[in-house]
Amino acid sequence: MKDVKLLLLSILIYCPLVVAQIEDDVDDLTGLYDDEELISIATGTQKQARFAPSVATVILAEDIIQSGARTLDEALEMVPGLHVSSSFNRQDAIYSIRGIHTGQNPQVLLLIDGVQIAQLFSGARPYNYSLPVANIDRIEVIRGPGSAVYGADAFAGVISVTTKTSRQITQNEGGVRVGSFDTREAWLNVGGQLGGLNVSASIQHVTTGGDSTRVVDQDAQSQADISLIPATSLAPGELSTNHELLNSKLKIAADKWSIDIFSWNLANAGLGTGGLQSLDYVGGDSSDFAGISFETVLLDMNDDWSIKGRLDSSIFNQDAEFVLRPPGSSFNFGPFGIQAFPEGMIGNPNILEKTYSGEVTSFYRGHPDHNVRLAIGFRTQELTAGETKNFATPNFISGDFVSLINVKGTPDIFIRDDEREHYYVSAQNEWRFANDWELTAGVRYDTFTQFGDSINPRLALVWSTAHNLTSKFLYGRAFRAPSFSELFAQNNLALVGNPDLEPETIDTYEVAFDYRPNQNVDLKLNLFLYQIKDLVEAQFGVLAANNLEQSGRGFEFEAEWRATKNFKLIGNYAWQNAEDDDTNTDVPNAPQQQLYLRSVWEVDNNITASAVLNWVADRERSVGDLRSDIDDYTVVDLVVQYRNLIDGLDISLIGKNVFDEDVREPSTGQFPSMPEIPGDYPLEGSSATIEFKYNFDS
């Protein structure tokens, strides 16, 4: 079967080369970089990608369409060295970068139009977070540290998503998608002038029932049922992956100021494998994340000196309902003994988080060889928790709980209310000290009320080695602030907080080359080495501690070949080796090899066909996990787009995992030798989606 897959893939990729006339290489490099993409994620100022003092990837809206990506998670699979895996907690996405792979995944900073998308509770993206792509203009990704510019949590990488403004919405558009798993999506993007202001608005609504073929044969309750008659586990059963999402955004801009208002609302979201790895078809997540950003130019002295100010305010509310163990089950609470749950073991936590932040940034460009950026800012965050549950409280009556008990404001709640204040200052200078050399030096100082200070420097030397070759030598330090759950979690079956935790730190060294032998070929090679200290270890029922150290090394190779006027092939290969320094064993679950290929064939002016291959290999089990090796997998996607079928109407057909590969992400659990989901986490099988998009004038 694999041979058949490879044969079909070869036909899809190389058939256009056979039927098309191969263009001659163009040796004249005039204008080679004229249309090169500018990026701002590396320094906070716009710069051509090949000169940016970091290893960065840019994904444009066109790339998203050609790849058939339906969510941000799917789009990120294009990034070399970044693998989107599944967490034990609700099957949340783990953005595994260069072997830095943890359960909650707070080591990757996600920004949407400059707003940090993260829970104070977990330090990572909100549980069950999903972002549709219809309003995304571009995605910029740094692999490596970014704390010198972005501060805390820009540790393994930074992902910056920019949504469409009235400038990018040259025509208003509305669209619908209908696909497998009872998935329905609709969106509207509009933009233009209103009363002298540039105004854009978008709204996206998605519902899905989830893939019912994602079945697990056993769960945590299956193991507990050995001593129970009758058994209570719901396994074998499908993962609970349904959800409903409403995502909206309004942007208003004038010459000197802009306002962004956003809202992300999640409802009826399934809990994946369940809160304690026991299948749960009753519980679910509901979340609301909303905010406003105001940015203005405070001073503008031509091109020499400018000062900008920014204020952000956001509120995040999450209500979760868990049936942690099914009706009729029991659980051993240690000193409380074995407790029976006729109606199921129920916990309903909720979190309310408020964030206020501000920043003033100054740019000085008055010297021809220097570009100076200074910034000062603050962030205030507060968390309020509530909870009802029928376990682990003093309210026992003859060994049974009478009903759900509201433990808000009592010592029995899962986390205490708390707040964090954070202040910072940063400086950066881009110094062109010779025609072919530029040195970027920066440092940022952060101070937190909970654990103190952190200083993070960066150095980047960029050498224009030849007219078509750029070499980079990079060093950076980054840190991650402990999350509130790691600091203060209590009465929690999975995590015990430790207020004495220190920040995690990472030092990274990189060498990168960007070589363009002619107008049709782009080649990039990145080599990296890093050392992590004070990595937080959070084990079941054990006090969280800075117990771990990790080192990693590897390389990423990228290539783009514009073989003909109508055909191009884009690909990357990544290899990494990350080790636990204490045990000298490979870091589990993170892929050591990845290969991504995408072919794009412009059949004619209206039709584009794309094929995508994603190969993931060499994921190791945890020490003590005696299961067989984690299977490698190869997934193939196909996309066909027909533009202007009728005036203004585009149609796309998207096939995901077209060969229905059995794709699984490694499961983890309380004890490596006895994982709660022995058969790993199954991902989506084959699916088909049809998309209709209509472009219209306002």
CA 21 to chain centroid, in Å, comes to 40
Tens digit of each residue's pLDDT (9 = 90 or more) over 522-542: 999 999 999 999 999 877 777
325 within 8 A of 345, measured Cβ to Cβ: yes
In this structure, are residues 535 and 104 in contact, taking their beta carbons and an 8 Å threshold?
no
pLDDT (mean) for 213-233: 87
What residue type is assigned to position 211 of the chain?
D
Cα–Cα distance for residue pair 451/212, rounded to 1 Å: 45
**Alpha-carbon span 681 to 624, nearest angstrom:** 19
Query: What is the C-alpha separation between 79 and 616, in angstroms, rounded?
Result: 13
What is the residue whose two structure tokens read 């558009």? 173
**Strand stretches in 32-92, DSSP E:** 38-39, 47-48, 56-60, 82-86
- Indicate if the pLDDT at residue 336 is higher than 50: yes
Residue 485 confidence (pLDDT): 93
The mean pLDDT value of the chain amounts to 90
Which residues does 297 contact at the CB level (< 8 Å), separation at least 6? Answer: 256, 257, 306, 307, 308
Phi and psi torsions of 401, nearest 5°: -85, 140
Measure Cα distances from 302 to 51, 364, 365, 696 in Å: 24, 11, 10, 38
The 10s digit of each residue's pLDDT in 427-439 is 999 999 999 999 9
Other Cβ atoms within 10 Å of 317 Cβ, number:
16
Taking the C-alpha atoms of residue 232 and residue 69, their distance in angstroms, rounded to an integer, is 39
Residue 412 CA to residue 345 CA, distance in Å, equals 16
**551 SS3 class:** strand
Domains of the chain: 2-696 (2.40.170.20)
Question: Could you report the per-residue pLDDT of 39-97, keeping only the tens digit for each?
Answer: 888 777 778 888 888 999 999 999 999 999 999 999 999 999 999 999 888 889 999 99
> What is the pLDDT at residue 83?
97
CB 287 within 8 A of CB 336: no
| Mean pLDDT of all residues in 221-239 | 86
DSSP state of 481: P
pLDDT band for position 339 (cuts 50, 70, 90):
confident
- DSSP 8-state class, residue 221: H
The answer to whether residues 497 and 544 touch, using CB atoms and an 8 Å cutoff, is yes
Q: What is the pLDDT of residue 405?
A: 87
SS (H, E, C) 96-109: EECCECCCCCCCEE
Query: Residue 170: its pLDDT value, please?
Result: 85
pLDDT at residue 11 tops 50: no
Q: DSSP letter string over 512-544?
A: EEEEEEETTEEEEEEEEEEEEEEEEE--TTSB-
pLDDT at 60: 95
Question: Do residues 601 and 16 make contact, with C-beta atoms less than 8 angstroms apart?
Answer: yes
pLDDT per residue as tens digits for the range 567-603: 999 999 999 999 999 999 999 999 999 999 999 999 9
Instruction: Give me the percent of the chain exceeding a pLDDT of 70.
Output: 92
Kindly indicate the confidence band of residue 34, based on its pLDDT and cuts at 50, 70 and 90: very low
Q: What is the pLDDT of residue 392?
A: 67
Q: What are phi and psi of 9, to 5 degrees?
A: -65, -40
The answer for 491, left when phi > 0, alpha when psi is -120 to 50, beta otherwise, is left
What pLDDT band is residue 27 in, cutting at 50, 70 and 90? very low
Burial of 358 (0-12, 13-18, 19+ CB in 10 A): middle
Overall average pLDDT of the 205-227 stretch: 91
Global confidence as pTM: 0.92
At residue 664, does pLDDT exceed 80?
yes
Of residues 151, 161, 123, the one with CA closest to residue 379: 151
